[in-house]
Amino acid sequence: MPENPVSVGNAQCGRGQPLLFIAGPCVIESDDLVFRIADALQTIAGEQNVPLVFKASFDKANRTSIDSFRGPGLEAGLEVLARVKERTGLPVTTDIHTPEQAEPTANVCDILQIPAFLARQTDLIVASATAAAKHDCLLNIKKPQFIAPEDIVHAVRKSEHAGCSNLLLTERGTTFGYGRLVNDMQAIPVMQSLGCPVIFDATHSVQRPGGSRTDGAREMIRPLARAAVACGCDGVFLETHPDPDQALSDGPNMLPLGDVGSLLAELTRIRELTNTFPHVLAH
């Protein structure tokens, strides 16, 4: 069975634990921007005494257009993440796209993230689970938009077969027709029933796919995050940027950096309530 709660850095995530936050820019645009965001998130986490993992992608291999910015690549990106970890003391995570990226990424990151579109790829899951177990880090599997929440069990079983029981599962919405995602909050307890802590991705959930670049409904981040925490998710994933409208990837569905502190404080209070009165909220 998967571990629950699981440890990340000095914190734990799962049943009865404080809410874990995973936050950062969609992609590593530049060293300066990454350090600016990481420093701000470190300050917020310290002031609010909440566990926070820094996230940024070294490569956005799933961009819609061939002309879209992808990031600095594996080697340069991992170097930046290692410097963020040393500079801020925050645990770090990034997403990987091919099996050969698992081992070098696990050498640096505290959590390996499997993108939703790739969570059916057995070789990627097995390589990532093997590397995570070897380096004592977590594996975060994002539920594909195109499967039912209970069907993520197959990715969990593949990970366990490869020796990894330190898992997170992430809910990020389900495809509804064309160009729209919907969030069925039943997915949170359904996925938790598999034994893993569940993270809610509040920013990718508001994506509006289609066209040459992804659009989004940024104003829906806060209400969806509130609802997910009230439904009992164990953590919240947020992509953030000082000026999302100028971001090189996923700007329309990123939260402005200046709004992160107030949202984290609000979600933490909701989590405290769910931990204090779990049976009341369950009925």
Tell me the per-residue pLDDT of 184-197, one tens digit each, with 9 for 90 and over: 999 999 999 999 99
Phi, psi of 68, rounded to the nearest 5 degrees: -75, 150
Supply the pLDDT for residue 241.
97
Tell me the per-residue pLDDT of 231-269, one tens digit each, with 9 for 90 and over: 999 999 999 999 999 999 888 899 999 999 999 999 999
Query: pTM of the predicted model, to two decimals?
Result: 0.94
Helix, strand or coil for residue 98?
coil
Confidence of residue 65 (pLDDT cuts 50, 70, 90): low
Domains of the chain: 6-282 (3.20.20.70)
Tell me the per-residue pLDDT of 70-85, one tens digit each, with 9 for 90 and over: 878 999 999 999 999 9
Task: Please give the Cα distance from 155 to 36 (Å, whole number).
Answer: 35
SS (H, E, C) 165-214: CCEEEEECCEECCCCCEECCCCHHHHHHCCCCCEEEECCHHHEECCCCCC
